[in-house]
Amino acid sequence: MFALTDRTSTLKQPPFTFAITEELLATYGSPLYVYQSDVLRRTIARITNAISYPQTQFCFASVTNGNIALLQIFQACGWGLHANTPGDIYLGIKAGFAPKNIVYSGSNLHRSEMEQVLRWGVTTLNLDSLSQLQLCCEVYQFLRENQQVLAPPRLGLRLNLPELTGDSRIGVRSTEFLEAISIAKAAGLKLSGLHFYRGTGTNSTAAFTQVIDTVIAICQQLPDWEYLDFGGGFGYPYRGGTAFDWELFGAELTDRINQLDRPIELIIEPGRSAVAGCATLLARVVSTKWQEAKQIVGVDTTVANISVPSVHGGYREICTWNCQDSLHLTDVCGNTTYSRDYLGKNCQLPALAVGEILAILDVGAYGYAMSSHFLHRPRPAEVLLENSQHRLIRRREDYRILLANQVF
């Protein structure tokens, strides 16, 4: 469940004015996802400028958020797209990304999916196993023989390093490299890249910088090494405290790669760290009650409209435009009878009344992207706020969505 515990005595300020908030809810209804383009663009610029190595391609990990309007902002800022699934690729192409600027790093595609990825023209593929590599090579040969693919793909492996990343189902061990090289060579292809994924939501800069030399040494085992995809997993400081230091990371990574005797392309895949902080979920208070000293606030959204706790650790900061000085221990509860439907638990908020507005912060990553129809609540609308102007970027669902694709 969401276990938001704010032990501070001060309440964080909302991200935009109350007047704009009222206008947004009057126009689009509640609950409502609001994305701030200026916040997103500043974050993109900071991450981009942190790595000075000239042959760096940033690719947004769209698993965290697949809204086309947001993807177009990344594309306009010169980023590519990192795709975990064919659906990620489909959305990226619809957003305007060239297939050559899309990097696929996924798992367990069946043959028709692998064919689709190559037909779309994606040329950089980081594969999860020798069997997926074999399938990719077979599909490429079939498409080439039938003149249905234009360019040979650039193949890489997702790297499995238990000593660095712990027990993981993802990736290939370095002991499998010789067989992987042989599989690619038999298809007339080269194995030219490695993808290193440190782990989900890591805020420790040292967790990345301390393994640079090890990863580079493993990459050098590939005779045709051309690129290093240093992955994603970069965290976001939901609870405050120390955030990932992009500048330090960029300086150390640039220094190590500059010492190599060959030009290497560097791929970086920020997801959560790039998009988390630009979004707010607005909700209205629909009921209040007290259990001794604790305030129980019911709102018009549900835990199903935001990511599952296993992905973000069960924490989102909640604030309000209510300016009372006195704060109370508060649980913010969703509009279902699911016993774990908490948007915030044990947070400090003023005494609230029905009709007031709460802002659930930092929901840009794995927010709408992981929302569901659990307990049969339609999902909110999404809007983009740009220079105090706003526009709808996803319509609110209604109950008809619950019948979509049902046959009766």
pLDDT value of position 168: 80
pLDDT at residue 202 above 90?
A: no
Residue 148 confidence (pLDDT): 80
β-bridge mates for residue 316, sequence order: none
* 194-219: average pLDDT: 90
Q: What's the whole-number mean pLDDT along residues 235-259?
A: 92
The conformation of residue 100, written as its DSSP 8-state character, comes to G
Amino acid type, 5? T
Residue 18 — left, alpha, or beta (φ > 0 → left; ψ -120 to 50 → alpha)? Answer: alpha
* Pick among 2.40.37.10, 1.10.3720.10, 3.20.20.70, 3.20.20.140: CATH of 18-35+276-399: 2.40.37.10
Cα separation, 79 vs 56, in Å, equals 10
**Smallest Cα–Cα separation from 331: which of 318, 320, 322, 321?**
318
Q: What are the extents of the domains in the chain?
A: 18-35+276-399, 98-270
| Mean pLDDT along residues 35-48 | 98
Residue 349's identity, in one-letter code, is: L
Q: Which of the two residues, 213 and 12, has the higher pLDDT score? A: 213
Two structure tokens written together for 75: 């594309």
Average pLDDT, the chain: 92
Distance separating alpha carbons of residues 384 and 359, to the nearest angstrom: 16
So what's the pLDDT on residue 311?
Answer: 60
The predicted-structure confidence for 262-286, as pLDDT tens digits, reads as follows 899 999 999 999 999 999 999 999 9
User: Residue 8 above 60 pLDDT?
Assistant: no
Contact 116, 139 (CB under 8 A): no
Q: Residue 3: which pLDDT band, with cuts at 50, 70 and 90? A: very low
Burial class (CB in 10 A: 0-12, 13-18, 19+), 66: middle
Question: For position 1, what pLDDT does the model report?
Answer: 31
CATH number of this structure's domain 98-270, picked from the four choices 3.20.20.10, 3.30.70.980, 3.30.465.10, 3.30.1490.20: 3.20.20.10
Band (10; pLDDT cuts 50, 70, 90): low
Any bridge partners for residue 126, and if so which? 105, 156
pLDDT at 313: 60
Return the pLDDT at 308: 64
Overall size of the chain counted in residues: 408
